[in-house]
């Protein structure tokens, strides 16, 4: 294990922010993390666990130890005639893991294709897209207590998953290093497997028709999701970004109804509990931010919810833009939009 000092994190975060870490290390196993904990000096440092850096905004250098989780491995741990439990180590790339499952005809996460980052970060915010969230297929995860090195198992109810939420963003913030994720998937190779393709979200059916898909397969669904995502989300390799900067706000029905009266075309997603989710991208576009360039930053031209780094933006420039956008949405609609991205 090599400890690097004053390490640049520019290529390790998808915003491409030029921040550095006082100390930096890559771990490939649980034992190597335990070795770190045994080092009293390093253990005393504040720690930041890093995956693919696709949901982080550095507004300053990190004055502590950045631990990049690179633990590899994917295996089937148990199976029945119709279902399979697949365990992936935290350092595996999320999209590569999705493709691994698709290649074996294991269904359940094809709608989550092309989400950047690592497996270990997926439960952090219960990643979701196109009508599916991790919680829908979650079996269990293993995590190391960052202070004691104890390995703890979490089941579905332990994780308190919600929309872009989990216990790891709240009660257990900065307390655990997730080392593996196990999902329960459907074996489509089995004639007895029952599976409903999730095609109701947004443009999926339209895109499948455009692609002239007559028979649904998980590969076709994945290809459709990839096509839709590539058409509106900027590729971080080309323009720095961290996906949706804000979460979509979920508002009370009375506020929603008064807004709908004023803005009858406002898109909206009624929730089971009576609240209504409103797309933050629409709110931000209505405030005039879509495609607007502010110095080195801006709100993207095809997806206003995605804030971008056009070149040499600092984390603070992006954060200042986010605060201005947040204020203008509050002023126009009376709604507070909250960041999805983890601001460091």
How far apart are CB 18 and ligand FAD at their closest, in Å? 16
The vertex-18 CA angle with 16 and 23, nearest 5°, equals 115
Gap between the Cα atoms of 251 and 266, Å rounded: 13
Q: 117 or 287: whose CB is closer to ligand FAD? A: 117
- The verdict on 127 binding ligand FAD (CB under 6 A) reads yes
Gap between the Cα atoms of 275 and 252, Å rounded: 5
DSSP letter string, 81-133: SSEEEEEEETTSBHHHHHHHHHHTTEES-GGGTT--SBGGGTTTTT-EETTEE
Nearest of 278, 289, 287, 273 to residue 249 by alpha carbon: 278
Restricting to residues 247-266, name those near ligand EPU by CB under 6 A.
Answer: 247-248
Q: 108 or 243: whose CB is closer to ligand EPU? A: 243
- The verdict on 243 binding ligand EPU (CB under 6 A) reads yes
DSSP letter string, 24-92: EEEE-SHHHHHHHHHSHHHHTS-EEEESSSSSEE-SS-EEEEEEEE----EEEEEE-SSEEEEEEETTS
- The verdict on 297 binding ligand FAD (CB under 6 A) reads no
Q: 53 or 108: whose CB is closer to ligand FAD? A: 53
Q: Which residues contact 268 (CB under 8 A, 6 or more apart)?
A: 256, 260, 276, 277, 278, 279
Whether 258 is catalytic = no
Gap between the Cα atoms of 290 and 82, Å rounded: 46
Whether 150 is catalytic = no
Residue span binding ligand FAD (CB under 6 A) among the ranges 42-50, 187-195, 270-278, 286-294:
42-50
Whether 340 is catalytic = yes
Binding-site size for ligand FAD (CB under 6 A) equals 33
> Which x/- pattern, by CB under 6 A, does the window 7-46 give for ligand EPU?
----------------------------------------
- The verdict on 342 binding ligand FAD (CB under 6 A) reads yes
Among 33, 154, 168, 282, binds ligand EPU (CB under 6 A): 282
Task: Give residues in contact with ligand FAD (CB under 6 A).
Answer: 14, 48-56, 69, 90, 115-118, 120-122, 124-125, 127-129, 176-178, 233, 236, 241-243, 342
Task: Give residues in contact with ligand EPU (CB under 6 A).
Answer: 129-130, 202, 243-244, 247-248, 267, 279, 281-282, 285, 290, 303-305, 340
């Amino acid at each position: 294990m090599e400890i690097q000092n004053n390490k640049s994190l520019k290529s390790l975060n998808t915003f491409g922010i030029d921040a550095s870490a006082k100390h930096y290390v890559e771990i490939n196993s649980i034992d190597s993390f335990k070795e770190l904990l045994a080092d009293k000096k390093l253990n005393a440092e504040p720690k930041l666990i890093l995956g693919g850096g696709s949901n982080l905004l550095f507004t300053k250098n990190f004055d502590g130890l950045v631990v990049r989780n690179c633990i590899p491995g994917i295996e089937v741990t148990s199976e029945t005639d119709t279902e399979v439990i697949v365990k992936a180590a935290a350092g595996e790339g999320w999209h590569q893991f999705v493709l691994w499952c698709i290649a074996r005809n294991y269904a359940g996460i094809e709608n989550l294709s092309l989400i950047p980052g690592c497996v270990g970060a997926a439960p952090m915010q219960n990643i979701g897209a196109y009508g599916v969230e991790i919680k829908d297929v979650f079996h269990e995860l293993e995590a190391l207590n960052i202070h004691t090195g104890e390995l703890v198992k979490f089941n579905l109810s332990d994780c308190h998953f919600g929309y872009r939420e989990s216990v790891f963003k709240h009660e257990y913030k900065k307390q655990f290093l997730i080392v593996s994720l196990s999902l329960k998937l459907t074996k489509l190779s089995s004639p007895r497997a029952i599976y409903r393709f999730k095609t109701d979200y947004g443009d999926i059916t339209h895109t499948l028709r455009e692609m002239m898909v007559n028979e649904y397969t998980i590969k076709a669904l994945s290809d459709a999701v990839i096509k839709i995502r590539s058409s509106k989300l900027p590729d971080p390799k080309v323009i720095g970004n961290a996906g949706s900067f804000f979460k979509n706000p979920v508002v009370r029905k009375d506020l929603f109804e008064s807004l709908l009266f004023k803005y009858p075309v406002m898109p909206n997603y009624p929730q089971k509990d009576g609240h209504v989710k409103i797309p933050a991208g629409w709110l931000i576009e209505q405030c005039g931010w879509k495609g607007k360039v502010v110095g080195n930053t801006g709100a993207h031209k095809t997806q206003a919810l995605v804030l971008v780094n056009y070149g040499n933006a600092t984390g603070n420039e992006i954060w200042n833009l986010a605060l201005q956008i947040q204020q203008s949405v509050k002023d126009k609609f009376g709604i507070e939009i909250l960041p999805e991205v983890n601001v460091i």
